[in-house]
Chains A and B, each alone.
Chain A
Amino acid sequence: MDSPHDAHVAERVPAPAWAATSVRALLVEPTVPILLIAAAVQVVRQAWVDFAVFAGGAVVIRWDARRPSRAVAPAGRRRMPLPLAVGVLAFGVLIAALPRGSVAESAALGVPGLVAAGALLRRRPRDPLPEPSAAGLPGRFTWLVLGLALAVIELGSFLSESTPGVANPEHPTVSDLLEPFLESPVSRGLAALAWVAAGIWLVRRARTAGRAP
Chain B
Amino acid sequence: MTGWALTMTAYGLVVVGVVVAEVAGRRKPDRTPSFTTALLRAMRHRSAALGLVIAWWWLGWHFITGA
Contacts and interface: CB of A to CB of B under 8 A. Distances in A.
B67 A101 contact: yes
B48 to A, nearest CB: 5
Contacts of B48: 29-31, 209
A interface residue count range (under 10 / 10 to 19 / 20 to 34 / 35 or more)? 35 or more
B65 A203 contact: no
Instruction: Give the dominant DSSP class at B's interface.
Output: helix
Interface string B1-38: 01110010011011001100100110000111101001
Contacts, number: 180
A170 B3 contact: yes
Given A101-B66, A175-B66, A32 B61 contact: no
A175 B62 contact: yes
Contacts of A129: 44
A60 B14 CA distance: 32
Contact of A143 (B10, B35, B46): B35
Contacts of B43: 202, 205-206, 209
A35 B51 contact: yes
Contacts of A57: 50-51, 54
